[in-house]
Structure 1
Amino acid sequence: MSYDRLANAEHGASHRFFCIRASSTALANIDGPLADIDGPPSLWPIDVTSNFPFMDAQFRRHTMYQLHYFPSNANAAPHMVLEEIGHEYELVLVDRANNTQKSEHYLKINPNGRIPTLVDGELVMFEAAAIVLHLVDQHPEAGLAPKVGTPERAKFYQWITFLTNSLQEELMIWQYPDRLAGADAAASEIVRNGAEKRAGAYLDVIDRHLKANGPLFLGDKLSAVDFYLVMLSRWARPMSTPPRSRPSIARLLDMVGALPAVRRAYEREGVTGEIC
């Protein structure tokens, strides 16, 4: 999608296919993987492959995706991509309030006990960035990644890896300093402050890139990397200098955050207020 198309996007919902296993309206104020958790019990899906053994592999590839999620967790990026692609999918709530991500059932599909997980026929995937890459490869017609083998595709890989390996890593340390510092409050504060400083430096790199090459990561072409930054920017809102305090990042967040696909993804996770 070009910048002109982005600015004038009018995506109807008629071609979007979506179903959900549990209502998440009560979860509207939950902010990502990093907030106090409150929510309804999880409802688990059937095993789509074992229950339909007559399906051949080619048919299963075109069946409904299944995204295991919790509101505003790392599933948000693949969820936005699914909405923009317009392919049929199902949401399955993983109730972190009851630690369901560590249940025997969930560990069978995600041995790390983390969210999200994507089920695509016989293929089961974890790690948000990997899921995003799989989705853009399966749906090149959506135009959410440049053509494989091009310099533009290399830059796409660069930025999505930077977001997940650098910025996201520091945001997780910032939110959970006790994982490194233990029960020592003073040490946790040192760890937290250091992570916020490093995350801020990474955001500065992004802002400079967008100022020089934007308004989006790949110029005027919308890509899955832009969705990924929206997700991380929501998590980082409580920072002393949040992402939106940087003008070029703020411009991207305004543009991408206004897309119907982004609004639908968050609304279907129960988030109806400001996204980022």
Structure 2
Amino acid sequence: MYTLFYYPRNASLAPHFVLKALDVPFQLELVDRKKVAQKSAQYLRLNPTGRIPTLVDDDFVLCESAAICLYLCEKHSEKNLIPDAPQAKAEFYQWLMYLTSTLQNELMVYFYPERHTQNAIMYDDIIKTQQSRISDALAILDQKLGNNSYLVNDQFTVCDCYMFMLCIWADEIAKPPLSFTNLNRYLKNLAKHPAIASVCEYEETDLTIYK
């Protein structure tokens, strides 16, 4: 059985969505960030990066949210959370990389400005700049979506799990995802997906704004 080390609304959210969508047996192990448990000696022996999530599959240990998602989907390829056709699969990887290397990175700078300057006076300027950069990334994703129900190949994939996680994180910025026409429709549709709805209920993530 899989064990996912998680914390609500953390980067473990996407793998949690994936596990639920795959409908495979798994258990959750809370890593209490309020107590900085991710930096404890016990957790660091499991995941030396001191970050969440971590997946344990028997004696195999894997970290990094996107890598966990891909591993799970490749083990359960019959569930079709990764497209099969070469071009569709290439597009899938393209947008997953965009989400992880662009949107997620911009959000991390926004949430943790203190990690990017030694001058506290600069915090507000970094946050303001990041609001604009995040909005630019969301605009690209909004354009990509168009009238489609899903991000890639008109099927529910890991990209949609990852996108929903990041858009939840971004819901507090000045121009949040729901302010974009296509993203608004897309996210409200995704919020009804059984896996997403179930996981958000478990993690006590309120989906009222997506109704």
TM-score (norm 1): 0.73
Query: Aligned to 2:182, which of 245, 248, 269?
Result: 248
1:159 aligns with 2:88: no
1:104 aligns with 2:41: yes
1:178 aligns with 2:75: no
Runs of 4+ off more than 4 Å: none
- C-alpha distance in structure 1 between counterparts of 2:6 and 2:196, whole Å: 16
Partner of 1:222: 156
Residue pair 1:145, 1:156 contacting (<8 A) in 2 also: yes
Partner of 2:20: 83
Partner of 1:23: none
- Code of the residue aligned with 1:218 in structure 2: it is V
Q: Which has the higher helix share?
A: 2
5+ residue gaps, structure 2: none
Residue 123 of structure 1 deviates from its aligned partner by: 1.2
- Code of the residue aligned with 1:151 in structure 2: it is Q
- C-alpha distance in structure 1 between counterparts of 2:108 and 2:35, whole Å: 21
1:209 aligns with 2:144: yes
- C-alpha distance in structure 2 between counterparts of 1:272 and 1:247, whole Å: 21
- Code of the residue aligned with 1:111 in structure 2: it is P
What SS does the corresponding residue of 2:205 show, helix, strand or coil? coil
1:146 aligns with 2:83: yes
Q: Percent identity?
A: 38
Residue pair 1:182, 1:188 contacting (<8 A) in 2 also: no
- C-alpha distance in structure 2 between counterparts of 1:195 and 1:268, whole Å: 30
- C-alpha distance in structure 2 between counterparts of 1:68 and 1:166, whole Å: 25
Residue 178 of structure 1 deviates from its aligned partner by: 1.2
- C-alpha distance in structure 1 between counterparts of 2:206 and 2:107, whole Å: 23
What SS does the corresponding residue of 1:108 show, helix, strand or coil? helix
- C-alpha distance in structure 2 between counterparts of 1:244 and 1:138, whole Å: 33
5+ residue gaps, structure 1: 1-63
Superposition RMSD in Å: 1.4
Partner of 1:35: none
Partner of 1:113: 50
- C-alpha distance in structure 1 between counterparts of 2:192 and 2:209, whole Å: 10
Residue pair 1:163, 1:229 contacting (<8 A) in 2 also: yes
Residue 215 of structure 1 deviates from its aligned partner by: 2.5
- C-alpha distance in structure 1 between counterparts of 2:189 and 2:31, whole Å: 30
- C-alpha distance in structure 2 between counterparts of 1:183 and 1:105, whole Å: 34
- Code of the residue aligned with 1:191 in structure 2: it is I
Task: Output one character per residue of 1:189-240: Cα deviation in whole Å (capped at 9) or x when no partner.
Answer: 111112221111111110001016x231114211110111110011101110
